[in-house]
Amino acid sequence: MLHTRVETGDIPVIYLEGEIDLDSVETFRWVVSDAMRGVSQVVVDFTGVTFIDSSGTGLLVRFCLDYKAQGVQLQLRNIPPVVDDVFTMLKVRTLVGDEAFLDG
């Protein structure tokens, strides 16, 4: 199950907690899409994410690329090792670019 919390402001921050998988990918899609309305940058904080599968990763990559093409920044931070392992295996940094990652 995925829990989300959004801090609004000049740069909205989406806090995620739980699993991003086929069962929760629609929640993830809705939260990110809603937060991106009318802003030029959104930060997604993965601190509480315990699992991500290919459906969640695929949606994230699509968001990053689509928003980048529109001149909007979707930036990712606090990637836990379990998520970073999946991102490494699926070459997410190569696909979306290092600039999407705030952790370096």
* Domain assignment of residue 70, given as a range: 2-100
Q: Which of 79, 39, 77, 26 is nearest to 87 (CA)?
A: 79
pLDDT tens digit sequence for 4-31: 999 998 899 999 999 999 999 999 999 9
Tokens of 84: 């970073």
pLDDT at position 9 is: 87
pLDDT tens digit sequence for 58-77: 999 999 999 999 999 999 99
As a whole number of angstroms, the distance between CA 26 and CA 17 comes to 15
pTM: 0.93
Phi and psi at 44, nearest 5°, equal -110, 120
With a cut of 60, say whether residue 93 has pLDDT above it: yes
Q: How many domains does the chain have?
A: 1
Pairing of strands 13-20, 2-7: antiparallel
User: The CATH number of the domain where 92 resides is what?
Assistant: 3.30.750.24
